[in-house]
Amino acid sequence: MSAPVLPGLLFDKDGTLFDYQKSWGGFTLAFIHDLAEGDSALAQALADAMGIDPLTARFAPDSPIVAGTPEEAIAPVLPLLPGWTAAALTDRINAGAAVAPQVAATDLTLLFDRLRAGGHVLGIATNDAEAAAQAHLAQAGVAEAFSYVAGYDSGHGAKPGPGMCLAFAEATGLAPGDCAMIGDSLHDLAAGRAAGMVCVAVLTGIAPDVELAPHADVVLPDIGHLPAWLASL
């Protein structure tokens, strides 16, 4: 079998493997409810700070929690919670996120089996915690598909920095130019571009096509469209 085009495929997690709005809208409102402890004014202030509509559970495009690390996500919330430390609140959100049910963007088992059968090596680069990423992959039954999993806390830095992307290339023995970074946010595309990778955007996150297209080599509806696009190269 000849080597595939773009043998290295590095995926973001939230909004890419899993539909962001469907996976995290309800979780975030429940998290806010728990923190507010019945204080409706505080709940509204927390929702505003997190960039989520408490009536529809829909995220604003500029929500700080969509593409950021857990630490970045809690930064605007912490001033509203004087009894909490940054470390304690980060631990709380990481623990909750690790068990949050995820809604797959497509049939992940079928997709990853097909990509691996075609000779591709797969990785994850997420601004979530590595432990949460591992938990979500296991929950989806696809953990074994990935030879590389990195979170913001894995020692390579967070996106939009290129550290996780470059570490993937090094771990797999591939040149960055032989890899694609696949994600739903500008953070993902900036990280991939800085690393010298091909950049693939998907529309299962919050960012719209018009925002992503100028920074991507291609925009796909979801990762289920990857095999057809790869075959066209």
Residue range 219-228: mean pLDDT, rounded: 98
Angle at 137 between CA 136 and CA 141, to 5 degrees: 115
Give the model's pLDDT for residue 68: 84
Interacting residues of 173 by C-beta distance below 8 A, sequence separation 6+: none
Instruction: Give pLDDT tens digits for 42-56.
Output: 999 999 999 999 999
Strand, coil or helix: 34: helix
Higher pLDDT pick, 101 / 137:
137
Mean pLDDT to the nearest integer, 183-190: 97
Coil vs helix vs strand at 208 = coil
Q: How far apart are CA 170 and CA 17, in angstroms?
A: 23
* Residues 202 and 231: beta-carbon distance below 8 Å: no
Sheet holding 179-183: strands in order across? 148-150, 121-125, 8-11, 179-183, 198-202, 218-220
Question: Which ranges in 68-198 belong to alpha helices (H)?
Answer: 70-74, 86-98, 108-117, 130-140, 163-172, 186-195
Phi first, then psi, for residue 49 (nearest 5°) are -65, -35
Asked whether residue 34 carries a pLDDT value surpassing 90, the answer given is yes
Q: What is the mean pLDDT of the chain?
A: 94
Strand 121-125 relative to strand 148-150: parallel, antiparallel, unpaired? parallel
pLDDT tens for each residue of 136-182:
999 999 999 999 999 999 999 999 999 999 999 999 999 999 999 99
pLDDT value at position 65?
85
24 token code pair: 């995290």
Higher local confidence (pLDDT), 222 or 96: 222
CB atoms within 10 A of CB 232: 8
**Across 30-48, average pLDDT:** 94
Q: What percent of the chain has pLDDT over 90?
A: 86
- pLDDT at res. 97: 85
Q: Give the pLDDT band of residue 29 (cuts 50, 70, 90).
A: very high
Q: Answer yes or no: is pLDDT of 1 > 80.
A: no
Stated pTM of the model: 0.92
State yes or no: pLDDT of 2 exceeds 80: no
Distances (CA, A) of 179 to 17, 33, 42, 55, 86: 17, 41, 45, 41, 36
Distance CA 129, CA 12 (A): 12
Note whether 142 and 110 are within 8 A (CB).
no
Domains of the chain: 8-19+104-232 (3.40.50.1000), 21-98 (no CATH)
